[in-house]
Amino acid sequence: MDRIIYTAAGGAARVLEQQAIISNNMANVSTTGFREQMAIHRSVPVVGQPGMPTRVSSATMTPGSYMGQGTMVETGHALDAAITGDGWFSVQTPQGEAYTRAGEFAVNEQNQLVTHQGWPVLSNDGAPVEIPERGSVTFTGDGQISALGAGDNPNDIQLIGQLKLVNPPAQNMVRGDDGLFRVAGGQIAQADPQVRLVPGFVEKSNVNPAEAMVGMIANARRFEMQMKVIQNASSNAERANSILSTN
């Protein structure tokens, strides 16, 4: 009887872990540039003492993320940009260079181009992008940045740099706890001139709300089924004990 409870309890635990991942995806449906997190179950051998295999359990893994294109939304903001197709923006964090699809940029007090999290956006030379004070910024499709200072003649627009746009293999990208992606092994991705962006747009999350909701409902039903199995096993054990008990 304990095997039934063990199996059902393990299944219920896996369902709760997957539910947490789906809930996180649902919570980020409106997050710019968010990549849907995937979850799978895999078997794990249970080894007893002294090293003899006893049973097989299971574990939930998050092997990667769905890298499909999210919905492109026009904002009209000069500092917004969205990558079309494959590719990433490069940003500087305390843990080193990282990559994001979120192109909602702003200018901080140091006149640096930053993400909504405050991380400096990097140029092709690996340095933060410096924006002229009160300057008007324009992006081109290949990531070049032009700026016109406040009060300057419209004909005096100047090229101030180019965004570092990268496109490492998707299987090498690892999601960090901060929501940013990095190349496995701590490597630095090289700029890819083939990456293109669209100024004045942002890319929304690629999570499908309907599919996520269906997944949450299905998981809730699976959890109820596992709990029902545990209740039935406990009830059967009580009946068996009552039959075997002597007065």
15 and 45: one domain?
Answer: yes
Which pLDDT does position 17 carry in this prediction?
86
Which pLDDT does position 69 carry in this prediction?
93
Span 7-42, pLDDT tens digits:
788 888 888 888 999 999 999 999 999 999 987 776
**In whole angstroms, how far apart are CA 34 and each of 13, 51, 124, 170, 181?**
26, 43, 24, 15, 11
Span 194-241, pLDDT tens digits:
999 999 999 999 999 999 999 999 999 998 998 898 888 888 877 777
Which pLDDT does position 53 carry in this prediction?
63
114 and 83: one domain?
Answer: yes
- Residue 58: band (very low, low, confident or very high) from pLDDT cuts 50, 70, 90: low
17 and 127: one domain?
Answer: no
112 and 180: one domain?
Answer: yes
In the chain, the percentage of residues whose pLDDT exceeds 70 is: 85
143 and 237: one domain?
Answer: no
50 and 93: one domain?
Answer: no
54 and 132: one domain?
Answer: no
Say if residues 58 and 167 touch (Cβ distance below 8 Å). no
Domain end point (choices 170, 187, 203): 203
Span 64-108, pLDDT tens digits:
789 999 999 999 899 999 999 999 999 999 999 999 999 999 999
97 and 129: one domain?
Answer: yes
Which pLDDT does position 151 carry in this prediction?
63
189 and 213: one domain?
Answer: no
13 and 104: one domain?
Answer: no
Specify the number of domains making up the chain: 2
Query: Domain containing 37: what range?
Result: 2-66+207-244
Beta strands in the chain (DSSP E): 40-47, 53-61, 72-74, 81-84, 88-93, 96-100, 106-107, 113-114, 136-139, 144-148, 158-162, 165-166, 173-175, 181-183, 196-199, 201-203
185 and 227: one domain?
Answer: no
Span 128-177, pLDDT tens digits:
999 887 778 899 999 999 987 666 666 667 888 899 999 999 989 999 98
Which is higher by pLDDT, 59 or 237? 237
Which pLDDT does position 48 carry in this prediction?
65
Does the reported pTM lie above 0.95? Answer: no
Partners of 183 in the beta sheet?
173
